[in-house]
Structure 1
C-alpha cells in the first residue's frame, strides 16, 4: 500500500483542498479508499472512488503528480498509514489546510525535484 496526501492549490469552492489516497500498489495503483478534506476542515470518507465512473484510472505516483502532468495546481507527498487511519476513523483533520500549508508543500516538493 501507498498513502498519498494531495494538495489542490486554489481548489474551486465546494471542492476538497486536500485529498488523501490509500493506493493498492499491487492492483494497478487503484485507490482502495480516499478522504476529501475541505477548507473548513470537514472530511468526507470515500469507500469506493470508482462508483459510477465511466473509466477507472489509476492514481498517479507522487513523482508524477509533482511533475504537474495532471496540472500545475497539484502537489503531493507520501504520508504514513497511521495518519490516514486516524483521519478516516475520526472524520476530522487537525492539520493546516490554508494556502500557507499548500505553499509550504509546494516549496518543499519543488526543492526536492
Structure 2
C-alpha cells in the first residue's frame, strides 16, 4: 500500500487543490480510494474511484508525478 498527497498548483476553480490517494501497489497501482480537498476547505471522499470511467489507469508514482509524466 502507498499513500500519496498530491498538491495541484494553480488548480482550476471547482477542482481540488489537494488530492489524497490510497494506492494498491500489489494491484497495478490502482487507487482504492481518494479524498479531494478544495481551496475553501470542503472535502469529497471517493470510495469507488473507477465507477463509471471509460478506462482504468494506474496512479503514477510520486517520481512520475513530480516529473509531470
Q: Which has the higher helix share?
A: 1
Deviation at 1:35, TM superposition (A): 0.2
**SS of residue paired to 1:52:** coil
Question: Which aligned segments of 4 or more residues in structure 1 are displaced greater than 4 angstroms?
Answer: none
Q: Distance in 1 between matches of 2:28 and 2:17?
A: 25
**Secondary structure in structure 2 of the residue aligned to 1:53:** coil
Paired residue total:
69
SS at match of 1:48: coil
Provide the TM-score with structure 1 as the length reference. Answer: 0.60
Q: Which runs of 5+ in 1 are unaligned?
A: 70-113
Larger Rg: 1
Q: TM-score, normalised by structure 2?
A: 0.98
Distance, in Å, in 1 between the alignment partners of 2:68 and 2:55 is 21
User: 1:42, CA displacement in angstroms?
Assistant: 0.9
The structure whose residues are more often strand, as a share, is 2
List per-residue Cα deviations over 1:1-40 (Å, max 9, x = no partner).
0000001011010000000000000000000010000001
Q: Give the number of the structure with larger relative contact order, counting CA–CA contacts within 8 Å between residues 6 or more apart.
A: 1
1:6 maps to 6
